[in-house]
């Protein structure tokens, strides 16, 4: 007997028929003698629908109220799932995040899980119930409803698996595993039977939406056995996220390509080139809880320099007003501008450690297509570039081909 957490994404609960299908899979696992915790997302499109409703009333919705609203999507699907399980003759019980007590911090719309009270769930599992938990949501210390950021149901699934010391966390979605890149953009993309945590972490952090980054962080930290599978197919092993690197000569240098259209670039021009400036620019940004991704600063000439960084598109206006109101006058910057027509493309692979010339190859391939690189950042196993968003598809396709990631 194993304890398995199964997480189903939006397309897997998009209508009653799919929910019945999900229930049938759960019933099969239950019949094998396993204990099952199901985590569900809202029906596909529902979170976006709620978001636009809120924006019709308040263009930049108050984050606490927004979370009250967004969390309702998952409250509908937990109940539908429990009902579908009951219809199959199973004992089932649903819980919202607050009912479980998935305790988070109070960073509304992007809260982090602090702890999970597993008492009720364990009791129910021992009593033979399938437990159905709402993804994407929690509750803060004051009892406010919080949400975990888009795609956050993955994190609920993995965090529950960690708290319950589950034997496996299965992420059921609309693709049958993790691919060399998004198969919707590049149909030639290939499914990976395994990928290392390190690589998955980079791919997720660089924008591969198949797993939310925090879910991968949790799985790595708590050693959760994590697998991505198709909810539309009965068979198939999907992709296992592994801890070991393959000791395999055939291992390609690059394992995958991620891309991200969600970032915006902010440039502070004509900044005095002296100690403390980076802190004076980014300090107030961090205080406002705005995440910064890439950062570049030019070498100074004539005593000034330019400073550029990227933030989530949703937070560009917030960051710009902080800089204009609190920073520009203070440090004497000439100009502050924002550009949200950018995209980031990243190549990822543990093979980069043992190969040279990968970055120059990437830059050559992009140059041959006339694609200008605006920013570059690297880690030991990743090279990321920011380019004009209109070249995104082209860049991903040519890199995918040049690094021989296509199906054989
Ligand atoms: P769910 O609603 O099940 O959580 P998501 O839409 O969040 O599903 O994630 C699955 C989607 O991730 C796929 O439909 C696919 O378009 C996209 N995706 C992006 N990069 C990859 C990748 N490398 N491998 C597989 N899918 C990817
Ligand atoms: N429903 C939420 C979203 O659309 C959470 C999730 O699907 O993981 O982002
Ligand atoms: Mg998702």
Q: pLDDT digit string (tens) for 388-398?
A: 999 999 999 99
Atom index in ligand 2 nearest the CA of residue 44 equals 4
Which residue in 328, 378, 381 sits closest to 354, CA to CA? 381
Report which bound ligand comes closest to the CA of 152. Answer: 2
Task: Kindly state if the Cβ of 313 falls inside 6 Å of ligand 1.
Answer: no
- Tokens describing residue 12: 């897997």
The number of the ligand 2 atom at minimal distance from the alpha carbon of 74 is: 1
Cα 381 from Cα 348, distance rounded (Å): 6
Q: Directed axis angle between helix 153-163 and helix 213-222, to 10°?
A: 10
If phi > 0 it is left, if psi is from -120 to 50 it is alpha, else beta; for residue 61 that is: beta
Q: What strands, in cross-sheet order, belong to the sheet with 102-104?
A: 113-116, 102-104, 137-139, 145-147
What is the arithmetic mean of pLDDT over 127-140? 98
Which domains does the chain carry? 3-174 (3.40.1160.10)
Q: Is the CB of 9 under 6 A from ligand 1?
A: yes
Nearest CA to ligand 1 atom 11: 210
At residue 37, φ and ψ (nearest 5 deg) are: -110, 125
For residue 173, the ligand 1 atom closest to its alpha carbon is 3
Question: Rounded to the nearest 5 degrees, what angle is found at the Cα of 108, between the Cα atoms of 106 and 109?
Answer: 145
Per-residue model confidence as pLDDT tens digits over 359-376: 999 999 999 999 999 999
User: How far is 202 from 188, CA to CA, in rounded Å?
Assistant: 21
Length of the chain: 408
Give the position, in ligand 2's atom list, of the atom nearest the Cα of 136. 5
Cα separation, 267 vs 322, in Å, equals 13
Q: pLDDT (tens digit, 9 = 90+) per residue, 263-274?
A: 999 999 999 888
> Could you tell me the pTM of the whole model?
0.93
Report angle CA 291, 293, 294 to the nearest 5 degrees.
150
Distance 209 CA to ligand 3 centre (A): 6
How far away, in angstroms, is 18 Cα from ligand 2 center? 17
Beta carbon of 256 within 6 Å of any ligand 1 atom: yes
- Residue 152 Cβ < 6 Å to ligand 2: yes
Q: How many CB atoms lie within 10 A of CB 7?
A: 28
Cα 231 to ligand 3 centroid, rounded to whole Å: 13
The share of the chain scoring above pLDDT 90, in percent, equals 91
Q: Is 37 helix (H, G, I), strand (E, B) or coil?
A: strand
């Amino acid at each position: 007997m194993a304890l398995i957490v199964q997480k189903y994404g939006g397309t897997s609960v998009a209508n009653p028929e799919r929910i019945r299908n999900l229930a049938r899979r759960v019933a099969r696992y239950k019949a094998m003698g396993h204990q099952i915790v199901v985590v569900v997302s809202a029906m596909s499109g529902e979170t976006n629908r709620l978001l636009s409703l809120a924006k019709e009333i308040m263009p930049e919705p108050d984050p606490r109220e927004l979370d009250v609203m967004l969390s309702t999507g998952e409250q509908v699907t937990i109940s539908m799932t429990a009902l579908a399980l009951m219809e199959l003759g199973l004992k089932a019980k649903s819980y919202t995040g607050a009912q479980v007590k998935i305790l988070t911090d109070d960073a509304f719309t992007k809260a982090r899980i602090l702890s999970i009270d597993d008492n009720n769930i364990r009791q129910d599992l021992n009593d033979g119930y399938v437990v159905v938990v709402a993804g994407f949501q929690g509750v803060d210390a004051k009892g406010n409803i919080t949400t975990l950021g888009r795609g956050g149901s993955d994190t609920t699934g993995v965090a529950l698996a960690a708290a319950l010391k589950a034997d496996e966390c299965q992420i059921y979605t609309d693709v049958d595993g993790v691919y060399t890149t998004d198969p919707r953009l590049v149909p030639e993309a290939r499914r990976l039977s395994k990928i290392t945590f390190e690589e998955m972490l980079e791919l997720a952090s660089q924008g591969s939406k198949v797993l939310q980054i925090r879910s991968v962080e949790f799985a790595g930290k708590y050693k959760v056995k994590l697998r991505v599978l198709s909810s539309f197919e009965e068979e198939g092993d999907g992709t296992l996220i592994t801890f070991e690197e393959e000791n395999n000569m055939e291992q390609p240098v690059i394992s995958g390509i991620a891309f991200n259209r969600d970032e915006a670039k902010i440039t502070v021009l004509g900044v005095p080139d002296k100690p403390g400036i980076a802190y004076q620019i980014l300090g107030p940004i961090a205080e406002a809880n705005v995440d910064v991704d890439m950062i570049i600063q030019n070498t100074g000439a004539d005593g000034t320099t330019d400073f550029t960084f990227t933030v989530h598109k949703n937070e560009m206006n917030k960051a710009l007003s902080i800089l204009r109101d609190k920073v520009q006058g203070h440090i004497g910057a000439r100009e502050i501008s924002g550009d949200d027509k950018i995209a980031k493309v990243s190549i990822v692979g543990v093979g980069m450690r043992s190969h040279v010339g990968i970055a120059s190859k990437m830059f050559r391939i992009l140059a041959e297509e006339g694609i200008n690189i605006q920013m570059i950042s690297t880690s030991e196993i990743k090279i990321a570039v920011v380019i004009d968003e209109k070249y995104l598809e082209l860049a991903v396709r040519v890199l995918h081909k040049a690094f021989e990631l296509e199906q054989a």
